[in-house]
Structure 1
Amino acid sequence: MRFWQKSFKFYLVVLLFLVLMVSLVYVSLKPQREKVIEAVVEIPQNTSTKDVAMILKKNGIIKNPYFFMFYVKLNNYKIAAGKYKLSSDMTYRELCRALEKGFVPKVAIKFTIPEGFTAQQIAKKLQSLGLVDENKFLETVNSYDFNFKYKYSSKEVKYKLEGFLFPDTYEVYPGTSEKDIIKMMLNRFLEVYESIKDKKATNLDDIQTVILASIVEKEAKKDSERGLIAGVFLNRLQRGIKLESCATVEYVLPVHKEVLSLQDVRIESPYNTYLKKGLPPSAICSPGKKSLLAALNPAKTDYLFFVARKDGSHIFSKTFEDHLKAQKQIEEGKK
């Protein structure tokens, strides 16, 4: 009788052990939950296996911390301190292998490029965020080995991709190359421009449209005036009148100026629209969607001139005489 009892206990222990082993194999091979939970989990230095299990349970990664503890000790896993991106659909085996490596997930960096930024300003901002080397970024912009459908024909352009680095909010991981960031911005330009280019109501080609949009972007301070400003410049182009845009001159100046001097507007440059007829050889900044739409479909107007008020709005005029009157009224504070 005693022998039978001992045998029964022995086989019961063996059976329970086998059930436990099968359960462990099952949970090590099968995801833990139907609803997948993802979390970045931090394991501090010198954390015990029990505390690791409790951290994982607290974050919803595992259901039973004791099963996990047993599995870790049974397989002699050594868990390293660090931050881990884990998921509840990982098996125990996958969890332990990940936790052994001390993997620290990369955190994406979000950045926003404002409308009207130049290639130089974009490079400087990205360098300030630790994402690129400013000089390498600009060199890459000008190396032009991208499979990009829009290209400037002039050899006098300052930056070959100026105007196509679309202003928007992006997310990249540290270590992303200058080339990949540029590709991302070019692709975003294509996505936006290709979706609206069918609204074009001018005889300008796509490159000319982007150049005009960039000038509108720099000149317009109010959305309601973008179409009118585009209309003024289009009228001047069609009549062979110089654009005389201060923004195009400022593009080639070494420092920003609120008011240009007489010497500035006499600077010899293909971008100086006070001296050169027609559009400059390239865009002068990255225009946003609103300015692109204004250049695609400018307001139909007889205006040929505009002058800025202190609040950023403009007075539009049909004749040079009226333009001079508007300038005087603004100087005297009457408008």
Structure 2
Amino acid sequence: MSTEEKKGKKEVIREKMIERQSEAKVVRKIVLIVAIILLISAVAVIGGGYFYINSALKPVDPESDRQKKVEIPIGSSVTGIANILEENGIIKDARVFKYYVKFKNEAGFMAGEYKLKPSMTMPEILDSLKTGKVMEELAFKITIPEGKQLEQIAGIIGEKVDQKPEDVFKKLNDKAFVESLMAEYPNLLTEEILAENVKYPLEGYLFPATYPFYKEDPTLEEVVKVMLDKTQSVINEYRGDMEQQEFTPHKLLTMASLIEEEATEKVDRDQIASVFYNRIETGMPLQTDPTVLYAQGEHKSRVLYKDLEIDSPYNTYKYPGLTPGPIANAGVSSIEAALLPAKTDYLYFLATSTGDVLFSKTLDEHNQKKSQHITNN
């Protein structure tokens, strides 16, 4: 190759290098411009979000003195309350309200009919909902304790609505009445409650709580619906966990009722739940005394050996697995224990006279504790 040819080749390479450098500069400029645009967009989004949330937390109309009647039904979730407030023009954004409530860890909102203004601040709205500053005077309250059975609840309701307990109980078990409720609460009251072996369809479905009433003479149907609203609201909070574990409301409330009836104030319900689940997994019967008493329709402090012979699908000494339905109502702590049991190897537990519950992994260990803590008188 001649000297001139070599020089020509070098010139071509040099020109290509210059061209590539020029292209690289263009690419770098483009990347820089894109980066700047993305940064500006991110700042705009963040800034816009901040200003939007800040605005949403302020009163809808600071100058308004106009009062609005806003009804918060019993059993309303935070989401439900937020939607009601937004629909009535008391807050600007339901989602922002919900996140604000969670951030502030607020709770204890009371049902009722309120007089609220668009000029109210967020703290003023929350204070009103927590203190129950309602329009109407309270007529009476019905308190349903945890662990109560349907027949007992019928007595509590009957006393408040001036009806005979037996009449209330009969109505609660009337098929037409139950089916009318099933039509209104299809996601709560399913066909499972009408299964052949279920003793009382609404057993376990009237949630333990204190219910305020602002009407002197509500019908039994109105009272029951208020309680079912509460049950449905509580159940809805756990729908995600229920779907993961393939729990229906009936199965959840049944297991929760067994836990509720066996629990004492001193015990962690999730450990009792672990015993029940461990027994089911190993094929052992649950052998829980409250189910025997429920089968007998009796309330007594002690189950005798002869009681264990009753032939009933509710007798967990004779029949494995869960009872056909709940044997009482259950509170939130028992419902959560049913969904989130402790991880243990326990197969037995024993309640002592002091309210303590002793857990064991083997029958020998259980019998030893039984001989130490349980008298045969």
Asked whether the two chains share a fold, i.e. TM above 0.5, the reply is: yes
| Secondary structure in 1 matching 2:296 | coil
CA 1:107–1:301 in structure 2 vs 1: closer, same or farther (change >3 Å)? closer
Q: Distance in 1 between matches of 2:363 and 2:284?
A: 12
Report the CA distance shift for 1:176/1:311 in structure 2 as closer, same or farther (over 3 A): same
Aligned to 2:222: 180
Amino acid at match of 1:268: D
**Contact residue 242 and residue 275 of structure 1 kept, 8 A:** yes
- Gapped runs of 5+ residues in structure 1? 1-33, 37-104
- Matches of residues 68-79 of structure 1 in structure 2 within 5 Å? none
Q: Which amino acid aligns with 2:235?
A: Y
Residues 127-206 of structure 1 mapped to structure 2, 5 A cutoff: 127-142=158-173, 143=175, 144=178, 145-146=180-181, 147=183, 148=185, 149=187, 150-151=189-190, 152=192, 154-172=195-213, 173-200=215-242, 202-206=245-249
Are positions 1:325 and 2:356 aligned together? no
Q: Which residue of 1 aligns with 2:305?
A: 262
1:135, distance to aligned residue in structure 2 (A): 2.8
SS at match of 1:252: helix
Deviates more, 1:168-177 or 1:150-159: 150-159
* Matches of 2:375 and 2:209, distance apart in 1: 39
- Cα distance in 2 for partners of 1:174, 1:251 equals 34
Q: What one-letter code is carried by the residue in structure 2 that aligns with 1:170?
A: Y
1:311 to 1:229, Cα distance in 2 relative to 1, 3 A: same
The whole-number CA distance in structure 1 between the counterparts of 2:198 and 2:172 is 12
Instruction: Please state if 1:125 is matched with 2:167.
Output: no
Aligned-pair identity (%): 34
Q: Is contact 2:345-2:361 (8 Å) kept?
A: yes
* Whole-angstrom distance in 2 between the partners of 1:331 and 1:214: 25
TM-score (normalizing by structure 1): 0.64
Equivalent residue for 2:144? 113
What is the aligned partner in structure 1 of residue 81 from structure 2? none
Aligned mates of 2:203, 2:317 — CA distance in 1: 21
Distance between the aligned counterparts of 2:149 and 2:158, measured in 1?
14
Structure that is richer in helix per residue? 2
User: C-alpha offsets along residues 48-69 of structure 1, whole Å, 9 cap, x if unaligned?
Assistant: xxxxxxxxxxxxxxxxxxxxxx
Change (3 A) 1:114 1:247: same
How many residues are paired up? 233
Q: Does 1:304 align with 2:342?
A: no
What is the CA distance between 1:125 and its match in structure 2?
1.5
Deviation at 1:262, TM superposition (A): 1.2
The alpha carbon displacement at 1:123 in A equals 0.5
Q: Which runs of 4+ in 1 moved over 3 A?
A: 130-133, 199-206
